[in-house]
A and B are shown apart, each in its own frame.
Chain A
Amino acid sequence: MSTLRVEGVTVRFGEVTAVDDVSLIVEPGVTGLIGPNGAGKTTLFDVISGLRRPTAGRVLLDDEDITGRGPHQRSRLGVARTFQRLEVFGSLTVWENVVVALESRRRPAKLAQELLARVGIAEFAGNQADTVPTGAARLLELARALATDPRLLLLDEPSSGLDRAETDAFGELLRQLSAEGRSVVLVEHDMDLVMGYCDHVHVLNLGRLLVSGTPDAVRAHEGVREAYLG
């Protein structure tokens, strides 16, 4: 059971402040991270996974400061993520994509088929990864992240490209992952998915944390409606 703490994280690109002094806590379970486009959600993921150094602030995993660690070191501490703009290994097969991740953690390659079946894309195993549909490629990134057996899983818009039935199956998978004791953070635009499966929701707007709370509390919040509609 892992707890992630983000303390006062700020990211500036030149004049633009993409993330502005954000502090939040991610408890075990499924946490939603929502907000309009440009709110800084993906940038915050980049900071948590170590791909981007914050201009200011700290990231702590179970009270250990990991701000100075590289992405591969964080992966070994149990942080895994998927990408909003797909980052599958396009010239490898779907199966090989997962095997690379398994081998990175010295886990047996025979788990690959199992993981692909778990996310529901076993039939694509032999296909070259840049030829599969977007929805399947997103699930492949999930299978690949799961191959590292993460404690903290960051999912960046995992359901875009999935149809209704696939989205429901994905929601069930989220519940299972949470029940296995993994902390899952979900950046998502599908509000049914967020409201239906998240235990806790953080809302970002223009780089700032707008509100945190249960799905119901967030839904009732005046500022959230304005941020989305206004």
Chain B
Amino acid sequence: MTALLAYTIFGLVTGGAYAVVAGGLVLTYSTSKVFNVGHGAIGMVMAFLYWELAENRGLPQWLALLLVAGVCAPLFGLVVERFVMRRLAGAPVGITLVAGVGLLVGLIGVAQVVWPPQARPVRPFLDQLGVHVGQSFVSGHDLVTLACAVLVAGGLYVLLNRTRTGLAMRACVDAPELAALYGTRPTRLSALSWAIGSALAALGGILLTPVVQLDYVTMTLLVITAYTAALVGRLRSLPWTFAGALGLGLVQSYAVAYLPSSPFWISFRAAIPALLLFVVLLAMPQSPLRIGGVRGSRGVAVPTALTTGVSAGLFAGVVVVLALLVDPVVAGQLALALVFGIVLLSMVLLTGYGGVVSLGQFTFVGVGAVTVARLGGPSPVTLLIGAGVAAAVGALIALTALRVSGLYLALATLGFAQLMDKLVLQSPVAFGVRGSLQVPRLVESATAQLLLAAAVFVVVGVGVLAVRRGRLGRRMIAVKDSPAACATLGLNVRWIRVWVFSLSAAIAGLAGGLFAQLRETVAASDFQLFNNLPLLLFAVIAGVTSVSGALLGGVLLMLLPVLQSGFPAFAGVAVVLLGVAAAGLARDPNGLVSWGFRVWSWRRA
């Protein structure tokens, strides 16, 4: 009984902190229609800043808190709104998501540059204080957290329901043009909501630090719980969001208390936020087919069969010459670039043509890698089986997420990637928690690996273009442009998405098998959730609508760690640049390569 009370209090306290974070997310979403994936990263950076002021520089805690949550975080929110998010108003979900991921990755880079890894203890608030409730102890920090949650809930309620500004904010959600006619300025309201949202992210992050430790990724991904709470409120209702956050805090606390402590259940606990995200998404009502809105985004011109053949021949020629010239180290790196290129081809299909943003593509790579490793090594047959298993997993996620689309679908892939990582890839059937698997190579020399990867890239690339020119390609693009029109023409929109997901997953799984045998040692950490984010960013920066973009993206993805180890000072900066570039380029998913196409067509004209 005492234990139950203690865990209930603990659950309510963490839930209160989640509620603060989630409240900020809902506020920014409901006034700007941009779902800020980087919300948690803002909280993370601000928590580091708080550590700097309160612990490193010795400022009083209350002053540090005021400076960070009351000054720095709102200012940062204003900057983000002004320079990134305002330009994205009315953009398709995929584009706002990529900008958010760019922000997230960039902020992690900033944190790594400014605060290199080391242990950073943070003192809780009011640690001398505390009260006894029955036989359990509620610390001063817990009381502060609960008080903040109550104040934030009350403050947001008063702001939205009792002030002119709040009324205008709510009006802006429904009809920004109309609100503008009545003398409110939507951009100013959006800026205000981003300022408040960032402040709440900072406050929540700081309140959670004594519980979760200061860590770049852990704190950033803590936001998954905030996403879930916000989804309980359908991204609109603050009361439901707060209720959801408290509920999630309780569930997690009870899970820690009452689940057995065998290895499986320990991984299971880590997967609870993702699992709950998934469950809440599945409980969402069927989203109606979108009518109106996104107009056809202009993709790059589709090459004819002849152009494809000639380009494939040229590419093969260049690779053969390179294979003869370069030394084995470089050949190995180029082979890796091409394997990444194949992963990006899977995204050309899914995101470039199909318009579906997946935040879990590396999971399918991992599935392919595990399959090949567990089947005793690479052969054409096991590589294809790996692709097949990945396709089945892809179909499974598409089927479970059949009801949702757009933003919710992307979040479902995120939750799914986390679940697969914690429950499958880290399980003894796959890699084990800290384990790794040895995989023999299919061909021994680095040169042969380069030729192998190039051959597969050519086959898959030509295949992707053939799909684009064919029936499935037309359908995918039709579904992206207008799901409603597709349905009234007799197409089952949701089934087409299942096909696209499995095909894309199959390509990623094939790349996974190649990756495993190229690297010879693979571990679950190669395929964890976080790796998906740079993948998506490089895909968009290089160009997610073309095979050439996939090739360029693969090379960039390979170069990033090479450059980082060559120039350690550059490591964090590179990540910042990546985030900034993605947030800036998100508007044009045709990416860098499309500039090359344009120069080419201009010269011909």
User: What residues of chain A have their CB less than 8 Å away from a CB belonging to chain B?
Assistant: 46, 49-52, 70-72, 74-76, 79-81, 83, 85, 87-92, 96-97, 99-101, 103-105, 128-130, 141, 144-145, 147-148
Contact = CB atoms under 8 A, between A and B. Distances in A.
A76 B58 CA distance: 72
Given A75-B490, A104-B490, A88 B297 contact: no
B53 interface: no
Interface string B470-506: 0100110110111011111111110000000000000
A112 to B, nearest CB: 11
A103 B474 contact: yes
Nearest to B480: A91
B296 interface: yes
Given A96-B474, A103-B474, A91 B296 contact: yes
Contacts of A101: 489-490
B296 A100 contact: no
A89 B490 contact: no
B10 to A, nearest CB: 40
A92 B288 contact: no
Nearest to B485: A87
A79 B486 CA distance: 13
A153 B129 CA distance: 74
B494 to A, nearest CB: 9
Nearest to B479: A89
Q: Which 6 pairs from chain A and chain B are nearest by CB? A: A90-B296, A75-B490, A91-B296, A71-B487, A87-B485, A89-B481
A81 B475 CA distance: 18
A127 to B, nearest CB: 12
Given A87-B291, A92-B478, A100-B475, A72 B493 contact: yes
B471 A103 contact: yes
B289 interface: yes
Contacts of B298: 91, 128, 130
Nearest to A77: B490
A113 to B, nearest CB: 16
B481 A83 contact: no
Contacts of A71: 289, 484, 487-488
B17 to A, nearest CB: 34
Contacts, number: 104
A144 B484 CA distance: 13
A100 B474 contact: yes
Given A128-B296, A129-B296, A87 B487 contact: no
Contacts of B566: none
B481 A91 contact: yes
Contacts of A92: 296, 474, 477-478, 481
B38 to A, nearest CB: 29
A70 B291 contact: no
Contacts of A83: 291, 484-485
Contacts of A96: 474
Contacts of A130: 295-296, 298
* Chain B CB within 10 A, most for which of A87, A104, A148: A87
B292 interface: yes
11 contacts: A70-B487, A72-B486, A72-B490, A75-B489, A83-B485, A89-B485, A90-B295, A91-B477, A91-B480, A92-B477, A128-B296
A149 to B, nearest CB: 10
Given A128-B298, A129-B296, A145-B488, 5 more contacts: A74-B488, A75-B488, A89-B481, A104-B486, A104-B491
A57 B481 CA distance: 31
B299 interface: yes
A178 to B, nearest CB: 21
B505 to A, nearest CB: 24
Interface in B533-563: none
Nearest to B298: A91
B591 to A, nearest CB: 16
A101 B485 CA distance: 10
Nearest to A96: B474
B485 A99 contact: no
A83 B290 CA distance: 13
Contact of A72 (B299, B475, B482, B487): B487
Given A92-B474, A103-B474, A144 B296 contact: no
A128 B296 CA distance: 9
Contacts of B485: 83, 87-89, 141, 144
Contacts of B289: 51, 71
Nearest to B295: A90
B482 A89 contact: yes
A7 B506 CA distance: 48
A50 B477 CA distance: 22
* Chain A CB within 10 A, most for which of B288, B297, B471, B474: B474
A88 B482 contact: yes
Nearest to B487: A71
B484 A87 contact: yes
Nearest to A81: B488
Contacts of B492: 70, 72
A100 B298 CA distance: 18
B296 A51 contact: no
B600 to A, nearest CB: 19
Contact of B474 (A52, A99, A128): A99
A141 B484 CA distance: 13
Contacts of B489: 72, 75, 80, 100-101, 104, 144-145, 147-148
B84 to A, nearest CB: 25
A226 to B, nearest CB: 28
A185 B492 CA distance: 24
Nearest to B495: A72
Contact of B490 (A46, A90, A105, A129): A105
A129 B478 CA distance: 11
Interface string B365-395: 0000000000000000000000000000000
Contacts of B490: 72, 75-76, 101, 104-105, 148
B475 to A, nearest CB: 6
A190 B288 CA distance: 31
A16 to B, nearest CB: 12
Contacts of A147: 489
A104 B298 CA distance: 23
A91 to B, nearest CB: 4
Nearest to A103: B471
Contacts of A88: 296, 481-482, 485
B477 A51 contact: no
Contacts of A72: 486-493
B487 A51 contact: yes
Nearest to B491: A104
Interface in B280-306: 288-289, 291-292, 295-299
